[in-house]
Structure 1
Amino acid sequence: MAFGPEMIRAWSKEISSKLEGKRCTGVESGTDWTVLNFGPEESLFFSLHHKHYGCCGIKRIEHEYLRKTAWKKPRFGEMLKKYVSGARLSSAVQVASDRILKLSFDKAIGAGFRQRTHIIFEFMAHRSNLLLTDESDRILEVLRPIHPESQNIRTVVPGALYTPPSPVSGKGLIDFVNNPFFDQPVAGLGKDLFEVLKKAAEIYPPETINKSVTAFLDSGKTSVMRFQWIRKTLTLFPFILPGGVPAEGRDALEASRSAVIIPLIEEETVKLKKDLLAMLERKLKGIRTREKGLETQKKKAEEAEYYKRLGKLLLAWQHSIPPKALEVELTDWEKDPPEVVKIKLDPGLSPVDNAQTFFREAKKREIPLRPIDTKLRSLEKQAESLRGMISEVKNMDNLQDLYDFAEDTGLTGQAPKKRTDKKPPFLRFELEGAMVLVGKNERGNRHVTFDLAKGSDFWLHAKDVPGSHVILRRLDGKDTAFSPDDGRLLFAASLAAYYSKYRGAAKVLVDYTERKHVTPMKGSTAGATYNHGRSIIVSPLLWKEVYGDTH
């Protein structure tokens, strides 16, 4: 996603009209983003991400997502807090008609003195930067320094005077209004907007273009503009231009959300999901490696028993074995039925010495079998739990759910978080006199099935695959059960299919029974066994058609 200078101009106008004179009540920064709070209801998000850079409004829950996933707190953020937190916004301006936004703050420092500080955002894709300067524009701190030895045309380090990037070439916006010819680029208009306007000039009369550009230049209210996508660039103009696709949003800060915070959250979600799956797969691989080691030990232990058996047989039959025999066949009467065992011998040794050789081999391999079997059973339970967790994560599309999962399981690198004050996560739906509960993880599954559900409620689960427990309950006071073609049962079954390993299938087989026929599985957080089950085939997407994708 990209922006032209015209969007920075729109942001500066909106920020000035909405927030000028207001106090900055909080500052928070991540590796490449900053949030400025102006009271509980007004927050600005600034991103320097190489793909999702820009400025927009941010919702509280989105801020919470970013805060939780900000593993590193940059030093720059502490400097911003020191100089900007508690200060009042005095102005927001665009610098040199370029993609540069400058916010100025005034902060009382006692005895009638005030300190002015500027935050400068350079929104330039992979070259985006964030600077903090004093009232004379001397750099106090910079997120991405540019040193003199880098052979750059400017130096951007603490202590140096701020110098903007090379100015945009071309005529100014006012000159363009007075002389609306497309003979050279226009400073203040992005390349994509300029090219589309140039083509529009071949369609619309000159006075229409002139009038629209004048309105664009003079308007202090960006809400009268039409926000639109031109290829991958978000821009604005008084009307939708040829090839323009309308963008959602009543103003510039709202319209920019679809290009900044929303894709950034989506990318963070994909990244966290990928990281969690990789960690779980590594843990599962480690368990498999340990299982192989134990299986090898078990094989040796079984070989030890075999060699002991051969030694005992040779001692029992020693007087019947001819001298210098290469091989003998001896009957093991301890087996039921008796077995004939073929044994290869060293002809240079007596039967007793051959037996001692087998006993020595057995001793080398002698390991107690019971502890090995106990460990193998324990590892298999761990592997089963991990497979369930992998399936659970694959079905998560929400950053909050993924992070809560990481905290609950200790995958953040910290000890698992105790959530005694927080209910296990589950979803709730209501429709046509019925309620549906959906567990969102192992704790949520156990909660909806064994804490919230009544014996007469219906319990549903995708057949033979990991997935959510779903509870269906009547709220209309009737005692009759749900029939197989009841839309509410189909709705609940669709949720069970959607929140399972088979989410992407066209149709899924879902089992259902009354909750009283479901019992918890010993040694498992949410495992369950059930009987009196019936099955229904349903689309995993049916519930969205009925309810809308609001969860």
Structure 2
Amino acid sequence: MNMAFDGIVLSRVTELLNETIVTGRISKLYQISKYELLMTVRAQNENKKLLVSIHPMYARVQLTQLNYPTPDFPNALTMFLRKHIEGSFIESIEQVGLDRILKITLRGRNEFKDLVEYHLYIEIMGKHSNFILTNKEDKILECLKRVSPSDSIRIMQPGITYSYPPLLEKKNPFENRPETTNLVKEFEGFSKDLAEEVTSRMEQGEDFKTIMNEIKESKELYITRGDKEKYHVIPLHCFGKKIDQYSLFDGLDAYYQFIDQKDRIKQQTSDILHFIQKEYTKNVNKLDKLEKTLFDSHNSDEYRIKGDLLYASLHLIQKGMKEVTVDNYYDGAKMTIELDERFDGKTNANHYYNKYQKAKNSLKVLEEQIEKTKEEINYFDTLNTLMDNADYYDAMEIKEELENMGYIRKKNVKKLKKKTHPHYDVYRTRDGIIYVGKNNLQNDYLTFKMASRNDMWFHVKDMPGSHIIVHAENLDEYTMRLAANIAAYFSKGKYSSSVPVNYCLVKNLKKPHTNKPGLVLLGHYKTIYIDPDDSFYDELEKVEDAR
């Protein structure tokens, strides 16, 4: 349960939302994942993005500056919500006490141009979090997560009248002083983390009312860094000394940007990852069978020997016999040979010669199939590694690659505007620019189209990973190790130590004769060894996200 976003944090969020988007008009709505809605609100002469998440671990409401990928085509729920919400004005935003429930009142016009009132209820309650749209009389029109009678006593279905969940009777901490040491049980809106911080401060002589006034006036978010990062609207000194300060909504962006990104990407791209993993497993199993068949084919000489021995012993064989024991003049021992009782000795001998010839002819085909299957295994192993570091756009380009290669069928959908190039990440360092490709299309584009001949290229040795291009006038050891770290981090060796990274000038690279993208042939190159970590993020400035 996301207790970091407690009732006290929501109270500060509510006040800032009232200051920024009340009277604003909802111009667009998207469902960007199973748990998230993104609304564009036109308020105070600018567009603001309101994010609502009912994720079991990361539920929250906030304004965001981040760019979230939106579906090209809306689902049925999105169409329904757009019909009722888009074009409506936000009349009020209020928190229910200090509980984690937000009520947003909207006014707009229906399809008959009549004035209508809608209510949005956002409940932030761990796995029970929900987003509910009701009419003026609080009859549920739709909800992001429907709850049937078999799942809970509290039903969430269209047609049911909305009611608040059971609320505990607690005191308002802004109006009362503590009478017990258990602040969570005594006061509304308190999480365990906040209670621990307030208790620690009071033990050091700080007055409770003073602390609550600091909370009430706060428009900031403080993130305490450490093994377990925590945040609140006041610094949580009791959990660590390294604390970063942000404005409230920027702080929520900073905290959740990477925490829930992978979960969102997993939801949006699970079908692609499943296909890649299935193809990888299929080819691994295929290789095992082919190698067993190849082993049997290498033993084909046994068929020829049996044919020779049968021809030498025709006088011992008659129709109806199931086997014959003959002298093996190759090793001086006896050999028992199985026979087809329907045929004579000569025909049985020819059957063994035919098996020998077939096995001999299949060797070349088997070796070709084994080589091709190994290439497929390496290809899908590469895609699997790239998916591990992919954002939504990277994953969509991997899907595009699979479609272009004929592995998956292209859907007959409305044709979108063709991109001039794949997107890729661009960072500025103190000595130049670093370009990062995170899928095969990006890697090919950066290495063979965008890069200059004298740019430096980095890639992990003998493992799948990103192509890193460095454009710098003077490439010093600092920048080289930085680029090598990025190459190792965005590779299959991400969690290894002393990872070998090859580097060379782009002019020393050639594209092999293959239809598989992302592959290169190296000319003159050197190797550097690196322990990968994510420290490079602190040393780089992201200057562009080329899309």
Q: What is the TM-score with the length of structure 1 in the denominator?
A: 0.75
Deviation at 1:546, TM superposition (A): 8.8
State whether residues 137 and 161 of structure 1, in contact with CA within 8 Å, keep that contact through their aligned partners in structure 2.
Answer: yes
Alignment of 1:40-59 (within 5 A): 41-59=47-65
State whether residues 443 and 467 of structure 2, in contact with CA within 8 Å, keep that contact through their aligned partners in structure 1.
Answer: yes
State whether residues 425 and 440 of structure 1, in contact with CA within 8 Å, keep that contact through their aligned partners in structure 2.
Answer: no
State whether residues 120 and 130 of structure 1, in contact with CA within 8 Å, keep that contact through their aligned partners in structure 2.
Answer: yes
Corresponding position: 1:91 with 2:89: no
Who is 1:288 aligned against?
284
Who is 1:337 aligned against?
none
| Aligned-partner residue type, residue 385 of structure 1 | Y
State whether residues 118 and 135 of structure 2, in contact with CA within 8 Å, keep that contact through their aligned partners in structure 1.
Answer: yes
Deviation at 1:128, TM superposition (A): 1.6
Who is 1:100 aligned against?
101
Alignment of 1:71-220 (within 5 A): 73=75, 75-109=76-110, 113-145=114-146, 152=153, 156-172=156-172, 175-176=175-176, 181-182=179-180, 188-192=188-192, 193=194, 197=198, 200-201=201-202, 203-204=204-205, 208-210=207-209, 213=212
Equivalenced residues, count: 516
Determine the C-alpha separation between the residues in 1 that align with 2:538 and 2:99: 48
Who is 2:369 aligned against?
375
Corresponding position: 1:526 with 2:518: yes
Structure of higher RCO (CA pairs closer than 8 Å, 6+ residues apart) = 1
| Aligned-partner residue type, residue 285 of structure 2 | T
Q: For structure 1, which runs of at least 5 residues remain unmatched after alignment?
A: 331-339, 477-481
Who is 2:419 aligned against?
421
Determine the C-alpha separation between the residues in 1 that align with 2:486 and 2:338: 72
State whether residues 224 and 242 of structure 2, in contact with CA within 8 Å, keep that contact through their aligned partners in structure 1.
Answer: yes
Larger Rg: 1
Alignment of 1:334-483 (within 5 A): 344=335, 353-363=344-354, 366=358, 368-369=361-362, 370-394=364-388, 396=389, 398-409=391-402, 415=409, 421-428=419-426, 436-472=434-470, 475=473
Deviation at 1:544, TM superposition (A): 2.2
State whether residues 223 and 229 of structure 2, in contact with CA within 8 Å, keep that contact through their aligned partners in structure 1.
Answer: no
Deviation at 1:81, TM superposition (A): 1.5
State whether residues 48 and 54 of structure 1, in contact with CA within 8 Å, keep that contact through their aligned partners in structure 2.
Answer: yes
State whether residues 226 and 236 of structure 1, in contact with CA within 8 Å, keep that contact through their aligned partners in structure 2.
Answer: yes
- CA deviations 1:320-346 (Å, max 9, x no partner) are 99999831426xxxxxxxxx8988366
Deviation at 1:460, TM superposition (A): 4.0
Corresponding position: 1:15 with 2:17: yes
Deviation at 1:56, TM superposition (A): 1.6
State whether residues 494 and 532 of structure 2, in contact with CA within 8 Å, keep that contact through their aligned partners in structure 1.
Answer: yes
Deviation at 1:13, TM superposition (A): 1.7
- CA deviations 1:89-112 (Å, max 9, x no partner) are 000011244221000000034898
Deviation at 1:443, TM superposition (A): 2.7
Deviation at 1:127, TM superposition (A): 1.8
Cα gap change, 1:306/1:56 in structure 2, threshold over 3 Å: closer, same or farther? same
| Aligned-partner residue type, residue 136 of structure 2 | E
CA RMSD of superposed structures (Å): 4.7
State whether residues 58 and 261 of structure 1, in contact with CA within 8 Å, keep that contact through their aligned partners in structure 2.
Answer: no
Deviation at 1:383, TM superposition (A): 2.0
Q: For structure 2, which runs of at least 5 residues remain unmatched after alignment?
A: 319-323
State whether residues 224 and 236 of structure 2, in contact with CA within 8 Å, keep that contact through their aligned partners in structure 1.
Answer: no
Alignment of 1:218-367 (within 5 A): 222-223=218-219, 234-236=231-233, 250-257=246-253, 262-269=258-265, 279-298=275-294, 306-308=302-304, 310-311=306-307, 315=311, 326-329=326-329, 344=335, 353-363=344-354, 366=358
Identity within the alignment, %: 17
Determine the C-alpha separation between the residues in 1 that align with 2:212 and 2:53: 29
Determine the C-alpha separation between the residues in 2 that align with 1:542 and 1:113: 55
Deviation at 1:141, TM superposition (A): 2.6
| Aligned-partner residue type, residue 392 of structure 1 | L
Cα gap change, 1:456/1:235 in structure 2, threshold over 3 Å: closer, same or farther? closer
State whether residues 311 and 354 of structure 1, in contact with CA within 8 Å, keep that contact through their aligned partners in structure 2.
Answer: no
State whether residues 228 and 244 of structure 1, in contact with CA within 8 Å, keep that contact through their aligned partners in structure 2.
Answer: no
Deviation at 1:357, TM superposition (A): 1.9
Deviation at 1:495, TM superposition (A): 4.1
SS of aligned partner of 2:19: helix
SS of aligned partner of 2:349: helix
Corresponding position: 1:32 with 2:24: no
Cα gap change, 1:229/1:118 in structure 2, threshold over 3 Å: closer, same or farther? farther
Deviation at 1:437, TM superposition (A): 4.3
SS of aligned partner of 1:389: helix
SS of aligned partner of 2:259: helix
| Aligned-partner residue type, residue 529 of structure 1 | L
State whether residues 307 and 352 of structure 2, in contact with CA within 8 Å, keep that contact through their aligned partners in structure 1.
Answer: no
Deviation at 1:117, TM superposition (A): 0.5
Determine the C-alpha separation between the residues in 2 that align with 1:493 and 1:326: 67
Who is 1:479 aligned against?
none
State whether residues 438 and 466 of structure 2, in contact with CA within 8 Å, keep that contact through their aligned partners in structure 1.
Answer: yes
Cα gap change, 1:463/1:294 in structure 2, threshold over 3 Å: closer, same or farther? closer
Deviation at 1:279, TM superposition (A): 4.4
Determine the C-alpha separation between the residues in 2 that align with 1:343 and 1:106: 98
State whether residues 55 and 260 of structure 1, in contact with CA within 8 Å, keep that contact through their aligned partners in structure 2.
Answer: no
Determine the C-alpha separation between the residues in 1 that align with 2:168 and 2:190: 10
SS of aligned partner of 1:24: strand
Cα gap change, 1:244/1:159 in structure 2, threshold over 3 Å: closer, same or farther? farther
Deviation at 1:88, TM superposition (A): 0.3
Q: 1:544 aligns with which of 529, 536, 545?
A: 536
Determine the C-alpha separation between the residues in 1 that align with 2:477 and 2:243: 40
Deviation at 1:375, TM superposition (A): 2.9
Cα gap change, 1:248/1:56 in structure 2, threshold over 3 Å: closer, same or farther? farther
Cα gap change, 1:226/1:234 in structure 2, threshold over 3 Å: closer, same or farther? closer
Who is 1:334 aligned against?
none
Who is 1:502 aligned against?
493
Determine the C-alpha separation between the residues in 2 that align with 1:167 and 1:82: 32
Cα gap change, 1:57/1:247 in structure 2, threshold over 3 Å: closer, same or farther? farther
Q: What is the TM-score with the length of structure 2 in the denominator?
A: 0.76
Determine the C-alpha separation between the residues in 2 that align with 1:422 and 1:341: 74
| Aligned-partner residue type, residue 445 of structure 1 | N
Deviation at 1:17, TM superposition (A): 1.3
Question: Which stretch has the larger CA shift, 371-380 or 536-545?
Answer: 536-545
State whether residues 308 and 349 of structure 2, in contact with CA within 8 Å, keep that contact through their aligned partners in structure 1.
Answer: no
